[in-house]
Structure 1
Amino acid sequence: MSYPPEPWHLRGQMYVSVWSVPRRDLPPLPGELARVVRPVTLGGRGLIGTAWVVYEPGGVLHYRELLCAVLVRDGARPRVSITGIWVDSPTSRDGGRELWGIPKELAALEIGGTADRDGAGELAASAGTGSGPIARAVVRAGRRLPGRWPLRFSVAQLLGARVRTTPVRCRAGVGVGSAGWDVDPAGPLGYLAGRRPLFTLTLRDFRLVFGSAGAAAGRP
Structure 2
Amino acid sequence: MEGSPSMAYPPSPWSLRGRMHVSVWAVPVADVPALPAALSGAVRVVRLFGRAFIGTAWVDYQPGGDLSYHELLAAVLTRAGWRPRVTITHIWVDSVASRDGGRALWGIPKDLAVFAEGAAAASTADGPVASAALPRGNGIPPRLPVGFNVVQDLAGRPCTTPVRSTARYGLARVAWTIAPDGPLRFLAGKRPLLSFVAAGFTMRFGTAQRV
Same fold (TM over 0.5): yes
Query: Over aligned residue pairs, what C-alpha RMSD do you find?
Result: 1.1
CA contact (8 A) 2:138 2:197 kept: no
Q: Any idea what the Cα deviations from partners look like across 1:68-103, whole Å, max 9, x if unmatched? A: 000000111110000000000000000000000000
Which residue in 1 is equivalent to 2:60? 54
What is the aligned length?
205
The correspondence for 1:187, drawn from 165, 182, 185, is 182
The correspondence for 2:122, drawn from 118, 127, 136, is 127
CA distance in 2, matches of 1:141, 1:149: 19
Measure how far apart 1:62 and its partner are.
Answer: 0.4
The correspondence for 2:75, drawn from 69, 72, 77, is 69
Which residue in 2 is equivalent to 1:209? 204
3-state SS, counterpart of residue 92 of structure 1: helix
CA distance in 1, matches of 2:83, 2:116: 35
3-state SS, counterpart of residue 217 of structure 1: coil
The correspondence for 1:159, drawn from 154, 158, 161, is 154
CA distance in 1, matches of 2:153, 2:29: 21
CA contact (8 A) 1:141 1:175 kept: no
Q: Any idea what the Cα deviations from partners look like across 1:99-138, whole Å, max 9, x if unmatched? A: 00000000001363xxxxxxxxxxx410000110000111
Q: Any idea what the Cα deviations from partners look like across 1:159-199, whole Å, max 9, x if unmatched? A: 00110000000000111101111101111100000000111
Letter in 1 for 2:70: R
Q: Any idea what the Cα deviations from partners look like across 1:8-54, whole Å, max 9, x if unmatched? A: 00000000011001100011101111332111111010110000000
The correspondence for 1:38, drawn from 44, 57, 79, is 44
CA distance in 2, matches of 1:56, 1:146: 20
The correspondence for 2:14, drawn from 5, 8, 14, is 8
Measure how far apart 1:146 and its partner are.
Answer: 2.5
Moved more, 90-99 or 139-148: 139-148
The correspondence for 1:196, drawn from 191, 200, 205, is 191
3-state SS, counterpart of residue 181 of structure 1: strand
CA distance in 1, matches of 2:41, 2:123: 31
Q: Which ranges in structure 2 are unaligned for 5 or more consecutive residues?
A: 1-6
TM-score, scaled to structure 1? 0.90
CA contact (8 A) 2:86 2:148 kept: yes
3-state SS, counterpart of residue 88 of structure 2: strand
Letter in 1 for 2:98: S
CA distance in 1, matches of 2:13, 2:138: 31
Letter in 1 for 2:132: A
Moved more, 135-144 or 148-157: 135-144
CA distance in 2, matches of 1:202, 1:164: 28
Letter in 1 for 2:124: T
TM-score, scaled to structure 2? 0.94
3-state SS, counterpart of residue 60 of structure 1: coil
3-state SS, counterpart of residue 35 of structure 1: coil
CA contact (8 A) 1:149 1:172 kept: yes
